[in-house]
Amino acid sequence: CKILRCNSEYVAATLHLRGPERGAAFCTALRSYSLCTRRTARTCRGDLAFHSAVHGIEDLMIQNNCSKEGPTAPPRPRPPAPNPHGFESLDICDYERSFLYKHGRPPGFQHCAAFGDPHIRTFHDDFHTCRVEGSWPLLDNDYLFVQATSSPVAKGSNATVTSKLTIIFKNMKECIDQKVYQAELDNLPAAFQDGSVNGGARPGGSSLAIWERSPGRHVEIRADYIGTTIAVRQAGRQLSFSIRAAEEVARAFTEEQDLQLCVGGCPHSQRMSRSPRGRGRVPAETARALCREMLPVEDVYFQSCVFDVVTSGDTNFTMAAHGALEDARLFLPDAEKLHIFQ
């Protein structure tokens, strides 16, 4: 409810009005005040200050013979907040800006990814290959819930791939309505489930936005109000997920929210070795040659690529590992942590 802002704009507009010329300007200010209250009526229905202001405006318009129709003044610009860092104002729906204002330094960031088999790179740079069939939470904190649904990569295989992703951006009073994004194989929409492409009608609605980077293959969601960017991709018959999240956001969970693959990695019972045993669908040397074309550094992304191609026989898994590495290159705050060697 923004009634206090309406009140302060009215006071600022009428404070200097004196003498016989006061009438027309005073009526303009009252009409502006009335317009401001109408714009906030839906969120202020139960607010006593709002109802008091509405009745007060009606009384003042009658007392001053003001017509309801007529010019309205644009709201006076709010004075800049005293700010040692030179920002004009503090926007609570711009996480990086407000963090810098409060702490005098930019926030720290963490990166997590799930791709291929699935392979999980955690916020703490641990790396696991998981069998995790069914639905598992990648994230479950005060701001975000992300669930990945996996199914077998091939008939009779222990290996699984992500076939569905559900991402819930939880309601944040000043900034966004709750928004749900859902991707499935061959259906990577460039909009949230309700058809919108941003955070809704709230003042900070534009601080959550979705872009289609490559139709049907790569979608990016920017949540500036929590300093977070998410990439969702499809390569072949699997989905991948990458996130760059502010440290404060990544840590905003309770002990009850203990199962998060981005935080703790795969449970021990669900971890797999990346050394394929038995006969694969593609010879290991062929897989290595294919993966080396996309991933010249033999790190865990390369090892994961080889594992996935051998296990599935699908050469599109080279693109999955390459996409995950490119996301890491963009999202990781520390370039030295890009490659993990195990």
CATH number (domain holding residue 239): 3.40.1000.10
Same domain, yes or no: 164 and 51: no
How many whole angstroms separate alpha carbon 334 and alpha carbon 231?
Answer: 19
Output the pLDDT for position 84: 44
What confidence score (pLDDT) does residue 153 get?
72
Residue 83 belongs to a domain: no
59 and 128 share one domain = no
CB 199 within 8 A of CB 193: no
CB proximity list for 98: less than 8 A, separation 6 or greater: 90, 91, 92
Residue 263 lies in a domain: yes
Give Cα 317 to chain centroid, integer Å.
26
> How far is the first Cα of the chain from the last one, in angstroms, to the nearest whole number?
53
Tokens of 315: 């050469």
pLDDT value at residue 80: 42
Does 39 reside within a domain? yes
Question: What span, in angstroms and rounded, lies between the C-alpha atoms of 339 and 299?
Answer: 6
Using the structure block, give the residue that is written with the tokens 């309700």: 194
- Are 185 and 260 contained in the same domain? yes
The residue from 10, 40, 64 where one domain ends is 64
If asked whether residues 29 and 137 sit together in one domain, one would say no
77, part of any domain: no
Q: Do 49 and 178 belong to one domain? A: no
Q: Which domain holds residue 45?
A: 2-64
In a domain, 335, yes or no: no
Contacting residues for 154 by C-beta, under 8 A, at least 6 apart: 281, 311, 312, 313
What domain count does the chain have? 2
How would you write the pLDDT of the chain (342 residues) with one tens digit per residue? 778 888 878 877 877 776 655 778 888 888 998 998 888 888 887 777 788 888 888 888 888 888 888 877 765 544 444 444 444 345 789 999 999 988 888 999 999 999 998 999 999 999 999 887 889 999 999 999 999 998 887 666 666 889 999 999 999 988 999 999 999 999 999 999 999 999 988 889 999 999 999 999 999 999 999 999 999 999 988 999 999 999 999 999 998 888 999 999 999 988 888 775 555 778 999 999 999 999 999 999 999 999 999 988 889 999 999 999 999 999 998 889 999 998
Q: What's the pTM? A: 0.73
Show the tokens assigned to 86.
């030179």
Q: Which of 109, 86, 83, 84 is nearest to 96 (CA)?
A: 109
Residues 178 and 47 in one domain: no
Task: Measure the CA–CA gap between 20 and 152, rounded to whole angstroms.
Answer: 82
* Same domain (yes/no): 256, 177: yes
- Assigned domain for 165 exists: yes
